[in-house]
Amino acid sequence: MTRHDVARFTTMANHKSAWKRIRQNAKRREHNRYYRARTRTLIKKARTSHQGDDVQAAIEATRVAIRDLDKAASRGVLHKRNVARRKSRLMKQLHQMQQAQQT
């Protein structure tokens, strides 16, 4: 990415360090978008599996989503309390599904 590419998206920077900061921010933004999108997808898959009848598939989808949430938190993409809240909601939905299957 050249200075001219970056300048189209932001205000003009006057120092080399400011240009570097713009480049770093763009790189970090792409990195974070990848992990957030992947986490959103896995959460959605887990929630749709909670609507179905296969308990084992729901457990596996929830496990994968929780693992990905933990990775996002450890990388600093998502805040740890945000991750904890999302994990709690997923587990609550899974538990409700299991209770409905037993009755």
Q: What is the pLDDT of residues 48-98, one digit of tens each?
A: 999 998 999 999 999 999 999 999 999 999 999 999 999 999 999 999 999
Taking domain 3-102, whether its CATH number is 1.20.58.110 is answered by: yes
CA 29, CA 15: separation in Å to the nearest integer?
21
Q: Where exactly are the structural domains of the chain?
A: 3-102
What is the model's pTM? Answer: 0.81
Give the residue-averaged pLDDT of 22-42. 95
**CA 80 to each of CA 48, 84, 87: distance values in angstroms, whole numbers, following the listed order:** 24, 6, 10
Q: How confident is the model at residue 14 (pLDDT cuts 50, 70, 90)?
A: confident
pLDDT, position 103: 78
Terminal CA-to-CA distance of the chain, rounded, Å? 59
